[in-house]
Amino acid sequence: MAALPAIDTLTLEDAQAEHARLVAEITHHRALYYQKDAPEISDADYDALEKRLTVLEARFPDLAGAHSPTATVGAAPAAGFGKVKHKVPMLSLGNAFEDGDVADFVASVRRFLVLDDGAPLEFVAEPKIDGLSLSIRYENGQLVQAATRGDGAEGEDVTANVRTIDDIPNTLRGKAPAVLEVRGEVYMRREDFLALNKAQTEKGEKVFANPRNAAAGSLRQLDASITAGRPLRFFAYTWGELSEPLGATQSESRQRLAELGFTISEPSRQCRTADELLEYYRDIGAQRATLPFDIDGVVYKVDRLDLQERLGFRTRTPRWATAHKYPAEQAQTILRAISIQVGRTGALTPVAELEPITVGGVVVSRATLHNEDEIRRKDVRVGDTVIVQRAGDVIPQIVTSIAALRPADAQPFVFPTHCPACGSLAVRSTAEKADVAAETAAVEGAAGGEEAPPTETATEAEAEPDGVVRRCTGGLICPAQAVERLIHFTSRLAFDIEGLGIERMRLFFSQGRIREPADIFTLEKREAERIDRIVTMTGFGKKSVEKLFAAIEARRTIGLDRLIYALGIRQVGEATAKLLARHYLTVEHWRDAMIKAAEERAAQPAERKPELVGEAYAELCAIEQIGVGVADDMMAFFREEHNRAVLDRLLAQITVETYERPSTTGSPVVGKTVVFTGTLETMGRSEAKAKAESLGAKVAGSVSAKTDYVVVGADAGSKATKARELGLTILTEQEWVDLIGGKTTTPE
Ligand code: IVH
């Protein structure tokens, strides 16, 4: 640091200026350190700044105040913000990219609701604002709390900051529901963003890459007075907890939000068909550049709230709404090299190493090339000039290479036949499913620099076609697979350990400090005496190591669904992990059942029907949506002695919470196993299943002695016969509807 004037030589005026400078600088570095995990200065330099501020305030006590960083030193440093658990989860939206996806969305809504072709169905279409989502809680008309989305279940408490935003009323107008959580998007208008950046440049402070980053950076300030000086705005578009409905439809509710004092996202439109939705999409697309704020698409929502309720939610997205994105932004750059990344299940993914290029405000230096066939199909060669594209949170991709600009000596890429990490043979497999998509998510982290939020495609939604993936056969001896499993283990939807990102995990792994999940939880005990050694060997800084230990401690208690997901078993993504947790409830029950099922499976020929393999295995396969493929991947994991030992060593370190079913107070079918068979009249099979599950019932695909209810529709076949043979309770569709009559619940 350049020599600074000694504090005891400063006049009051100099001291005020110096105080403002230090506060701004400390706040800035805290944000980098605590929120982005990307400090720009060493801990020692940071400490020097704090020290100087403390000395300054000691000498000029009037400068110290509640907002000063010295007042918050040591207070909840690990997070910076308090945490808020969302009463109703903050979910994301499914995506449509092409016209056909919109038609599919409309068709899927109609199918789910079993609507006749002529039956009317209305949608509200509105812009998709490119900002960050916020939930604001009002009690008796007064703003009491505001929180960011966080991981959807828990966000950051930004109440003080939100109170400074002009668009957000502290007191609602007129008669408001006793409890109302208003949700919407915090954003910055384009002209305000440009003016802010100009002012920041003049002050020699950080400029923002785009309005979204500026809005996020301004809201997530530990000092609310900084937020107050930033031109933030808010659009309301939905709600969380609510003591009474705002209306019978989305459009009525929007109107009501406007009456209560909010700005609602406009221009919006009522639409009835896929064609009308597409017309809206095109109209807004044409106005996009002249709208005063950035949008990244439009959102379509089923208008009637009773239909929204029937449609309900998938794991993370509503069935009643979807986002329709505008095309990806593209740029041209040079492909410098193709590297091969080995995923946690051994999949070899080619990654394009690019001459860094800005695409839509984000620097991209890596992009996925998906697989061997894709490189061949697109004839991409090292040295080529390529078109790169990125859309929203999706991993950057190579669209094409420009043949005319190819260097004369560019050679076709030869895909390795052996794993670059362990040298084992890499073979092309036949049955590839969800885990390939999940592994691609790791490329995202590597490619984007910052860890982008996981997308739906990064979980179980998307599958690569069969047979295109080359896989390392090294299994447990492959260090790349081992480290990728650990990276997955700590990722956002799994143990979500702050400060243990991809690079740090690689480092700890290569140093032998963490070799399996249990090691994460014994790290502090093993290293506490020698923190200084970690500090010198990793270059992290003492504070940063202590912060990491605190983050690990905070995750010693974990939900069963997260634990199952974290193990990284092939095909077991977020949704499957939830299904398993919901079925087995406790970790002991789940673990024992899996071991038993694996033993049963191993003792029987592969082609034997699940029911005949054994009780535990049959129970697993009978969980709707699990299927034999997933069950067998699960069995492959549990059959391996090493995996059981790894799991048990982990379980000795952590506490796994019993899975909490969604609130089902008063539900008559909670914990019951139901089988639907035959054609139902009042609802489709998907709706029947979703409804039963939302009431805490388990829906099974086949009838067994453990089935509580068999709901029999028209033309029921062998399942009904078997139910009668077993003497089970058989219900008509009407009897089932009467049984659950009028019971609703909050979505999971
Ligand atoms: S409705 C159940 N409406 O987009 C989720 N979201 O990609 C209901 N967003 O998390 C969300 N504009 O942050 C909705 N008009 C709009 C929106 C909007 C922007 C954001 C929101 C959401 C994300 C999903």
437 pLDDT higher than 60: no
Question: Which of 619, 623, 570, 629 is CA-nearest to residue 597?
Answer: 619
Token pair listed for 231: 């031109």
pLDDT of residue 67: 65
Instruction: Give the Cα separation of 130 and 434 in Å (integer).
Output: 29
Q: Band of the pLDDT at 663, cuts 50, 70, 90?
A: low
653/225: higher pLDDT: 653
| pLDDT (average), residues 361-390 | 90
| pLDDT (average), residues 172-176 | 92
Token pair listed for 688: 């029947």
pLDDT of residue 71: 57
DSSP secondary structure of 660-671: PPPP-TT-TTTT
443 pLDDT higher than 80: no
pLDDT of residue 36: 60
| pLDDT (average), residues 344-363 | 87
Residue closest via CA to ligand 1's atom 10 equals 92
pLDDT of residue 436: 38
458 pLDDT higher than 90: no
Q: 579-612: per-residue pLDDT in tens?
A: 999 999 999 999 999 999 999 999 988 888 888 8
Q: Band of the pLDDT at 429, cuts 50, 70, 90?
A: low
736 pLDDT higher than 60: yes
Nearest ligand 1 atom to alpha carbon 265: 15
| pLDDT (average), residues 536-559 | 86
618/5: higher pLDDT: 618
User: Which stretch of 60-74, 242-256, 580-594, 643-657 has the lowest confidence by average pLDDT?
Assistant: 60-74
Give the chain's end-to-end CA distance (angstroms, integer).
52
> Which residues are CB-contacts of 266 (< 8 A; sequence separation ≥ 6)?
126, 127
Instruction: Establish whether residue 490 lines the binding site of ligand 1, counting it when its CB lies within 6 angstroms of any ligand atom.
Output: no
| pLDDT (average), residues 664-681 | 85
Instruction: Give the Cα separation of 280 and 283 in Å (integer).
Output: 5
Q: 272-296: per-residue pLDDT in tens?
A: 999 999 999 999 998 888 889 989 8
Nearest ligand 1 atom to alpha carbon 323: 7
Instruction: Establish whether residue 92 lines the binding site of ligand 1, counting it when its CB lies within 6 angstroms of any ligand atom.
Output: yes
Give start and end residues of each alpha helix (H) in 65-189. Answer: 69-72, 99-112, 159-162
75 pLDDT higher than 70: no
Q: At 84, is the secondary structure helix, strand, or coil? A: strand
Q: How far is the CA of 133 from the centre of ligand 1 (A)?
A: 7
Q: How far is the CA of 185 from the centre of ligand 1 (A)?
A: 8
31 pLDDT higher than 90: no
Instruction: Establish whether residue 216 lines the binding site of ligand 1, counting it when its CB lies within 6 angstroms of any ligand atom.
Output: no
User: Which stretch of 124-128, 194-198, 382-386, 473-477 has the lowest confidence by average pLDDT?
Assistant: 473-477
User: Which stretch of 180-189, 190-199, 690-699 has the lowest confidence by average pLDDT?
Assistant: 690-699
pLDDT of residue 385: 95
| pLDDT (average), residues 89-105 | 93
Residue closest via CA to ligand 1's atom 3 equals 237
Cβ proximity of 703 and 675 under 8 Å = yes
Sign of CA dihedral 524, 527, 531, 534: negative
486 pLDDT higher than 80: yes
Q: 710-728: per-residue pLDDT in tens?
A: 999 888 888 889 999 999 9
Instruction: Establish whether residue 302 lines the binding site of ligand 1, counting it when its CB lies within 6 angstroms of any ligand atom.
Output: no
Beta strands in 470-548 (DSSP E): 470-472
Residue closest via CA to ligand 1's atom 2 equals 91
Instruction: Establish whether residue 295 lines the binding site of ligand 1, counting it when its CB lies within 6 angstroms of any ligand atom.
Output: no
pLDDT of residue 745: 41
563/150: higher pLDDT: 563
Instruction: Establish whether residue 91 lines the binding site of ligand 1, counting it when its CB lies within 6 angstroms of any ligand atom.
Output: yes
* Burial degree of 334 (CB within 10 A; 0-12, 13-18, 19+): middle
**β-strand partners of 472:** 426
351/211: higher pLDDT: 351
Instruction: Give the Cα separation of 617 and 152 in Å (integer).
Output: 33
Instruction: Establish whether residue 323 lines the binding site of ligand 1, counting it when its CB lies within 6 angstroms of any ligand atom.
Output: yes
Is 128 assigned a catalytic role?
A: yes
Nearest ligand 1 atom to alpha carbon 313: 2
429/196: higher pLDDT: 196
Q: Which H helix or E strand runs over 302? A: strand 295-302
pLDDT of residue 47: 60
| Highest mean pLDDT of the ranges 6-20, 81-95, 175-189, 718-732 | 175-189
206/366: higher pLDDT: 366
pLDDT of residue 10: 85
Q: Band of the pLDDT at 231, cuts 50, 70, 90?
A: very high
Q: How far is the CA of 420 from the centre of ligand 1 (A)?
A: 41
393 pLDDT higher than 70: no
pLDDT of residue 742: 55
Instruction: Establish whether residue 314 lines the binding site of ligand 1, counting it when its CB lies within 6 angstroms of any ligand atom.
Output: no
Q: Band of the pLDDT at 462, cuts 50, 70, 90?
A: very low
Instruction: Establish whether residue 311 lines the binding site of ligand 1, counting it when its CB lies within 6 angstroms of any ligand atom.
Output: no
Q: How far is the CA of 209 from the centre of ligand 1 (A)?
A: 22
Instruction: Establish whether residue 93 lines the binding site of ligand 1, counting it when its CB lies within 6 angstroms of any ligand atom.
Output: yes
Q: How far is the CA of 546 from the centre of ligand 1 (A)?
A: 36
437/580: higher pLDDT: 580
| pLDDT (average), residues 309-319 | 91
180 pLDDT higher than 90: yes
Nearest ligand 1 atom to alpha carbon 392: 7
680 pLDDT higher than 80: yes
188 pLDDT higher than 90: yes
Instruction: Give the Cα separation of 724 and 722 in Å (integer).
Output: 5
Residue closest via CA to ligand 1's atom 16 equals 128
Catalytic residue among 128, 547, 691, 698: 128
316 pLDDT higher than 90: no
User: What is the 8-class DSSP label of residue 307?
Assistant: H
For ligand 1, mutation pick of 124, 126, 128, 268 (most atoms within 8 Å of CB)? 128
| pLDDT, mean over the chain | 85
Residue closest via CA to ligand 1's atom 15 equals 128
| pLDDT (average), residues 290-310 | 94
Q: How far is the CA of 170 from the centre of ligand 1 (A)?
A: 23
Domains, the chain, ordered by start: 7-74 (1.10.287.610), 85-325 (3.30.470.30), 330-489 (2.40.50.140), 507-657 (1.10.150.20), 673-740 (3.40.50.10190)
| pLDDT (average), residues 533-558 | 84
pLDDT of residue 433: 40
Q: How far is the CA of 586 from the centre of ligand 1 (A)?
A: 34
